[in-house]
A and B are shown apart, each in its own frame.
Chain A
Amino acid sequence: MNPVKIIQSRFVPLPAENVDTDQIIPARFLKATTRDGFGKNLFRDWRYENNDDTKPKAGFPLNNPAYSGEILVAGKNFGCGSSREHAAWALQDYGFKAVVSSFYADIFRNNALNNGVLPVQVSDAFLQEIFAQGADTELVIDLEAQTISIPATGKSESFDINSYKKTCLLNGYDDIDYLLSMLPEVEAFEKQPR
Chain B
Amino acid sequence: MGKTLFEKIWEHHVVKEIPGGPAVLYIDRHFIHEVTSPQAFTGLQKRGIPVFRPAQTIATADHNVPTLNQHLPIKEELSRLQVEVLHTNCAAQGIALYGLGHPFQGIVHVIGPELGVTQPGMTIVCGDSHTSTHGAFGSIAFGIGTSEVEMVFASQCLLQSKPKLMRISVDGELSEGVSSKDIVLYILSQITAAGATGYAVEFAGSAIRSLSMEARMTICNMSIEMGARCGMIAPDETTFSYIKGRQFAPGGEAWEPALAKWKKLFSDDDAAFDKEYTFRAEDIEPMITWGTNPGMGIAVNAPIPVPNGTEEKTAFEKSLAYMGFEAGESLLGKKVDYVFIGSCTNSRLEDLRLVAEFVKGKKKADGVEVWIVPGSRKVEAQARAEGIDKIFEKAGFQLRQPGCSACLGMNEDKIPAGKYCVSTSNRNFEGRQGAGARTLLASPLTAAAAAVTGVITDVRTLLTQKTETAEAFA
Asked whether B128 lies within 8 Å of A83 as measured between CB atoms, the reply is: yes
Q: A18-B194, A26-B431, A114-B145 are in contact. Are A180 and B155 (CB under 8 A)?
A: yes
Q: Specify which of A45, A85, A186 is in contact with B431 (CB 8 Å cutoff).
A: A45
Asked whether B145 lies within 8 Å of A111 as measured between CB atoms, the reply is: yes
A30 within 8 A of B: yes
Asked whether A27 lies within 8 Å of B409 as measured between CB atoms, the reply is: yes
Q: In this complex, what residue of A is CB-closest to B86?
A: A33
Asked whether A164 lies within 8 Å of B429 as measured between CB atoms, the reply is: no
Asked whether B39 lies within 8 Å of A34 as measured between CB atoms, the reply is: yes
B29 to chain A, nearest CB (A): 14
Q: How far is the CA of A163 from the CA of B78 in the complex (A)?
A: 40
Q: A22-B430, A163-B20 are in contact. Are A85 and B85 (CB under 8 A)?
A: no
B279 to chain A, nearest CB (A): 22
A183 to chain B, nearest CB (A): 6
Asked whether A105 lies within 8 Å of B227 as measured between CB atoms, the reply is: yes
Q: CB-CB < 8 A to B78: which residues of A?
A: 31-32
Q: How far is the CA of A92 from the CA of B315 in the complex (A)?
A: 27
Q: A18-B194, A18-B293 are in contact. Are A31 and B159 (CB under 8 A)?
A: no
Asked whether B155 lies within 8 Å of A23 as measured between CB atoms, the reply is: no
A60-68, A140-148, A150-158, A171-179: which lies at the interface:
A171-179
Asked whether A28 lies within 8 Å of B15 as measured between CB atoms, the reply is: no
A4-12, A74-82, A129-137: which lies at the interface:
A74-82
Q: A31-B410, A33-B85, A77-B193 are in contact. Are A182 and B20 (CB under 8 A)?
A: no
A162 within 8 A of B: yes
B113 within 8 A of A: no
Q: Mark B18-51, 1 if CB is under 8 A from A, else 0.
A: 1011101010000000011011001100010100
B369 within 8 A of A: no
Asked whether B144 lies within 8 Å of A83 as measured between CB atoms, the reply is: yes
A90 within 8 A of B: no
Q: CB-CB < 8 A to B159: which residues of A?
A: 164, 175, 178-179
Which bracket fits the contact residues of B? 35 or more
B236 within 8 A of A: no
A20 to chain B, nearest CB (A): 5
A91 to chain B, nearest CB (A): 13
Asked whether A186 lies within 8 Å of B417 as measured between CB atoms, the reply is: no
Q: Specify which of B24, B198, B318, B429 is in contact with A106 (CB 8 Å cutoff).
A: B198
B89 to chain A, nearest CB (A): 10
B146-154, B246-254, B324-332, B347-355: which lies at the interface:
B146-154
Q: CB-CB < 8 A to B197: which residues of A?
A: 77, 80, 103-106
Q: In this complex, what residue of B is CB-closest to A165?
A: B21
Q: How far is the CA of A110 from the CA of B436 in the complex (A)?
A: 29
Q: CB-CB < 8 A to B227: which residues of A?
A: 77, 80, 105-106
Q: CB-CB < 8 A to A27: which residues of B?
A: 408-410, 432
Q: A115-B147, A179-B24 are in contact. Are A186 and B156 (CB under 8 A)?
A: yes
Q: CB-CB < 8 A to B417: which residues of A?
A: 50
Q: CB-CB < 8 A to A35: which residues of B?
A: 39, 42
Asked whether B150 lies within 8 Å of A186 as measured between CB atoms, the reply is: no
Q: CB-CB < 8 A to A33: which residues of B?
A: 38-39, 42, 81-82, 85
Q: CB-CB < 8 A to B64: which residues of A?
A: 31
Asked whether B147 lies within 8 Å of A114 as measured between CB atoms, the reply is: yes
Asked whether B129 lies within 8 Å of A45 as measured between CB atoms, the reply is: no
Q: How far is the CA of A190 from the CA of B157 in the complex (A)?
A: 11
Q: How far is the CA of A8 from the CA of B311 in the complex (A)?
A: 30
A57 within 8 A of B: no
Asked whether B431 lies within 8 Å of A81 as measured between CB atoms, the reply is: no
Q: In this complex, what residue of B is CB-closest to A177?
A: B47
Q: CB-CB < 8 A to A174: which residues of B?
A: 147
B40 to chain A, nearest CB (A): 9
B16 within 8 A of A: yes
Asked whether A103 lies within 8 Å of B155 as measured between CB atoms, the reply is: no
Q: In this complex, what residue of B is CB-closest to A113?
A: B147
Q: CB-CB < 8 A to B82: which residues of A?
A: 31, 33
Q: How far is the CA of A30 from the CA of B157 in the complex (A)?
A: 26
A58 within 8 A of B: no
B175 within 8 A of A: no
Q: CB-CB < 8 A to B39: which residues of A?
A: 33-35, 85
Q: How far is the CA of A56 from the CA of B35 in the complex (A)?
A: 28
Q: In this complex, what residue of A is CB-closest to B315?
A: A17
Q: CB-CB < 8 A to A165: which residues of B?
A: 21
Q: CB-CB < 8 A to A85: which residues of B?
A: 36, 39, 127, 145-147
Asked whether B22 lies within 8 Å of A162 as measured between CB atoms, the reply is: yes
Chain A to chain B: the 7 pairs with minimum beta-carbon distance, closest first:
A164-B21, A85-B145, A31-B78, A111-B145, A33-B38, A114-B147, A179-B155
Apart from A27-B408, A27-B432, A84-B35, list 5 A-B contacts with CB within 8 A: A33-B85, A103-B194, A182-B24, A186-B15, A186-B157
* CB pairs A–B below 8 angstroms (22 shown): A18-B193, A18-B293, A20-B293, A30-B35, A45-B430, A77-B193, A77-B194, A77-B227, A80-B193, A81-B129, A83-B36, A106-B197, A107-B129, A110-B145, A111-B147, A114-B147, A175-B151, A179-B24, A183-B52, A186-B157, A189-B26, A190-B156
